[in-house]
A and B are shown apart, each in its own frame.
Chain A
Amino acid sequence: MKKSEPMSESYYYILLCLSKGDNHGYGIMQMTEKLSDGEVKIGSGTMYGATGNMMKKGWIEEIFSRESGLERRRLYTLTDTGKDALENEIGRLKRMLAHVE
């Protein structure tokens, strides 16, 4: 089993949101709040740093929207490496919770 470093909540939710489909920065921020029942909020500074780092790691890529009128809209998409990173994190969280009553 591959040993991986724990992710920050922001990283985890960004990858989780993108696993549900390509999204733009603000969309990810809104979806994160929804998925976490308002527990996790990702600010713009955190979002910029996290997406920049994840692009460097090759977990996500930047694409541009093909929707009419939104051609210049920046979207993020999950790569295979990103999917692996997310699955590893989900596995790690599950293992941590496995023995909780």
Chain B
Amino acid sequence: MKDTKRTYNFYSAWNWQQEINDLNAQSDAGWQLMHGGMVSSRFKYQPGVCYRYQLDYPGKIDEMPRYLELFRDQGWEFVNRTANGWYYFRKPYDPAADPAEYEINTDRASLNEMTGRWVKLGGILAVIMGLLLAVLLILFVLRPMWQELCLILALLPTFIMLLRGIVLIRREDVKRTIRHDGRWVGICLLAFAVFYTGFVLLAANRPSGQWNRRSDYTDTISAEAETAVEWAQFEIGYPDNYYLSLDVKADAPMTVLLMNEKDEVVHTFTGEVKKEEDVRLWLKKGQYRLLLADFAGGSEEVAFTLN
């Protein structure tokens, strides 16, 4: 049997009491903490001893020696500190001792101070996420696209989880175990990872660009699509709303056609001097072509932008 093991459990800040309970249960079973973390912890099998654990979130420590000395004096052994500022302590367990011996924040004021530090951090994150979500929602209403929806779906569960965490950690009965919460937090973070990956993939595969042309025609170009002059083509990787802008300056009225790979006209722009911006079109996956048609001849200058 291996005498070390690693466990994987997600503990949110407001689940710190659950984490303490789990560490105590591991110690009762002979597994003593070597290194604690919010996702993964390492244990060593030492059945001859038993500890009680505590977690502290002291914020910025001005005087580390003073901090550790106060814990050491009361019999606490410092185990480790996580990158996000949680400190793990343990003390040999005596079942006959007063349970208060195994508490580190012994009044409501100091418990509030500890949770308040996390609430401050969580609050800043929640405000940033809330503002970002508001901007994304406005953008989505104005210019709906899958990639924005993915970002909203990535952020929204985490944002709600964060707000819920801020409410829970400030509750009077915060020390009561919140069962199964870690699973939901894990699901929120998984949703974030999945939808954020979706956003990155959609953004990377979304065609965008600008096509410009300028020429002089002595002959006319007929109005028939079959004889139209092709001047640009692009590929659409996935169906979505796309935003087209066109700037035409020509000596005579002309038509710009957007055709799909089945040679169906998807959209038509007509005019002599015409400027259209952010025309929303639902384009399916496939090849698209831009063509000029129905032009009496002369000088023409066309700029086409796809977003």
Give Cα A24 to B74, complex, Å. 12
In chain B, positions 75-118 with a C-beta closer than 8 Å to chain A are: 76, 89, 98, 100-101, 103-107, 109-110, 113-114
Interface stretch, picked from B62-70, B157-165, B259-267, B271-279, is B62-70
Give Cα A29 to B72, complex, Å. 13
Interface assignment of B71: CB less than 8 Å from any CB of chain A: yes
Chain B proximity of A31: nearest CB distance (Å)? 13
A10-B106 in contact given A48-B58, A49-B113, A52-B62 (Cβ < 8 Å)? yes
Q: A26 and B56: CB pair below 8 A?
A: no
Q: B74 and A26: CB pair below 8 A?
A: yes
Closest-by-CB residue of B relative to A25 is B70
Give Cα A26 to B76, complex, Å. 12
Sorting the interface of chain A by its residue count into under 10, 10 to 19, 20 to 34 or 35 or more gives 20 to 34
Interface assignment of A83: CB less than 8 Å from any CB of chain B: no
Please report the total number of B residues contacting A with Cβ < 8 Å.
26
Q: B69 and A43: CB pair below 8 A?
A: no
Interface assignment of A46: CB less than 8 Å from any CB of chain B: yes
Using CB atoms and an 8 Å cutoff, list the residues of chain B in contact with chain A.
54, 56, 58, 62, 65-67, 69-71, 73-74, 76, 89, 98, 100-101, 103-107, 109-110, 113-114
Report A39-76 CB contacts with B as 1/0, cut-off 8 Å.
00111111111111000000000100000000000100
A29-B73 in contact given A45-B58, A48-B66, A48-B67 (Cβ < 8 Å)? yes
**Which residues from chain A contact B67 at a C-beta distance below 8 Å?**
48
**Which residues from chain A contact B76 at a C-beta distance below 8 Å?**
44
Closest-by-CB residue of B relative to A32 is B106
**Which residues from chain A contact B73 at a C-beta distance below 8 Å?**
24-26, 29, 44
**Which residues from chain A contact B71 at a C-beta distance below 8 Å?**
44, 48
Determine which of B58, B65, B66, B74 lies in contact with A43 in the assembled complex, contact meaning CB atoms within 8 Å: B74
Show 8 residue pairs from A and B whose CB-CB distance is below 8 angstroms, ordered by the A residue: A8-B107, A41-B98, A43-B100, A45-B114, A46-B107, A48-B70, A74-B65, A74-B66
Interface assignment of A80: CB less than 8 Å from any CB of chain B: no
**Which residues from chain B contact A43 at a C-beta distance below 8 Å?**
74, 100, 103-106, 110
Q: B69 and A46: CB pair below 8 A?
A: no
**Which residues from chain B contact A52 at a C-beta distance below 8 Å?**
62
**Which residues from chain A contact B89 at a C-beta distance below 8 Å?**
44
**Which residues from chain A contact B104 at a C-beta distance below 8 Å?**
43-46
**Which residues from chain B contact A62 at a C-beta distance below 8 Å?**
66
Q: A47 and B70: CB pair below 8 A?
A: yes
A46-B62 in contact given A24-B73, A25-B70, A74-B69 (Cβ < 8 Å)? no
**Which residues from chain B contact A50 at a C-beta distance below 8 Å?**
110
Determine which of B54, B62, B66, B106 lies in contact with A41 in the assembled complex, contact meaning CB atoms within 8 Å: B106
Closest-by-CB residue of A relative to B57 is A45
Instruction: Knowing that A43-B106, A44-B70 touch, tell me 10 more A-B residue pairs with CB under 8 angstroms.
Output: A25-B73, A41-B101, A43-B74, A43-B103, A45-B110, A46-B106, A46-B107, A46-B110, A48-B67, A74-B66
Determine which of A26, A46, A74 lies in contact with B105 in the assembled complex, contact meaning CB atoms within 8 Å: A46
Closest-by-CB residue of B relative to A72 is B65
Give Cα A25 to B110, complex, Å. 16
**Which residues from chain A contact B56 at a C-beta distance below 8 Å?**
45
Closest-by-CB residue of B relative to A29 is B74
Give Cα A62 to B58, complex, Å. 20
Interface assignment of A9: CB less than 8 Å from any CB of chain B: yes
**Which residues from chain B contact A44 at a C-beta distance below 8 Å?**
70-71, 73-74, 76, 89, 104
Q: A41 and B109: CB pair below 8 A?
A: no
Top 6 A-B pairs ranked by shortest CB distance? A26-B73, A45-B104, A46-B110, A43-B106, A43-B104, A45-B105
Chain B proximity of A65: nearest CB distance (Å)? 12
Give Cα A41 to B104, complex, Å. 10
